[in-house]
Amino acid sequence: QRVALARTLAAAPRALVLDEPLAALDPRTRADVQRALAEHLASFAGPCVLVTHDVVDALVLADRLVVLEAGRVVQDATPGDVVRRPATPYAAHLLGLNLFEAPVPFPTAGGPPAAGARVAVRPSAIALGPAGAADQPWSGTVAAVSARGEHVRVEVDAVPPAVVETTAADLPPYVRPGERVTLTVSPAPTPY
């Protein structure tokens, strides 16, 4: 992968099409190559199309993101705009965010969002509680629990569904696939 990328860049092309250029690299090499590629692309005068499924690569290497969903463009914006205002739940999911449409089952800053408004919530801003917790109208069933290092992602089938992120040390013992839980957002997000 590194040799193919170096050979491509050494040819002084007028345009670049890079399809998953950092795939199959170990984490340390990937970081080194990503940094070198970012430096090269910053001074590259021609157009470059980078195809990737890795959101970090897209955010670090691109100055414009085109998000494709089911074969069609759903968002075309700067990385910052996509992060601040994902256009669809799919775009939000790629960024690791939950995107909810009003009405939402949790309080938001400044009162309830207007109909049609969207609320983006980081998975780490959602807390899980035991089923039947008092005054918690948002509840669902744990669909999946997956760990990556010390971080744990919990997918909850609820209305609306949510992805929650916590640490392994903070994961409550009742959070297992098939178990009912309540969800709480804190601090209250701001709708857009």
| pLDDT at res. 191 | 65
Amino acid occupying residue 31:
A
Instruction: Identify the pLDDT of residue 189.
Output: 65
φ/ψ (deg, to 5) at 16? -130, 140
Q: Is residue 59 part of a domain?
A: yes
Q: Are residues 179 and 106 in the same domain?
A: yes
- Per the structure block, which two tokens stand in for 139? 């509840």
Q: What is the pLDDT of residue 172?
A: 92
User: Could you tell me if residue 190 is inside a domain?
Assistant: no
> How far apart are the C-alpha atoms of 89 and 164, rounded to whole Å?
15
Q: How many other CB atoms sit within 10 Å of the CB of residue 52?
A: 16
Total structural domains within the chain: 2
d(CA 101, CA 97): 13
pLDDT at 24: 86
Q: What pLDDT is attached to residue 51? A: 93
- How is 124-183 classified by DSSP, letter by letter? GGEEEEETT-TT---EEEEEEEEEETTEEEEEEEESS-EEEEEEGGG--TT--TT-EEEE
CA distance 116 to 23: 38
Specify whether 86 is located in the same domain as 160.
no
20 in the same domain as 85: yes
The full DSSP string for 5-50 is: HHHHHHT--SSEEEESTTTT--HHHHHHHHHHHHHHHHH--S-EEE
Q: Identify whether residues 82 and 15 lie together within a single domain.
A: yes
Instruction: Report the pLDDT value the prediction gives residue 133, as an integer from 0 to 100.
Output: 62
Between CA 183 and CA 128 the distance in angstroms is 5
Do residue 108 and residue 89 come from a single domain?
Answer: no
Q: What is the domain extent for residue 117?
A: 100-185
Q: Residue-wise pLDDT tens for the chain (192 aa)?
A: 778 888 888 888 999 999 999 988 898 999 999 999 999 898 899 999 999 988 889 999 999 999 999 999 999 999 999 998 899 989 998 888 899 888 888 877 777 788 888 888 889 999 999 987 666 779 999 999 999 889 999 999 998 999 999 999 999 999 999 999 999 887 766 666
- Residue 69 sits in a domain whose CATH number is 3.40.50.300
Residues 126 and 85 in one domain: no
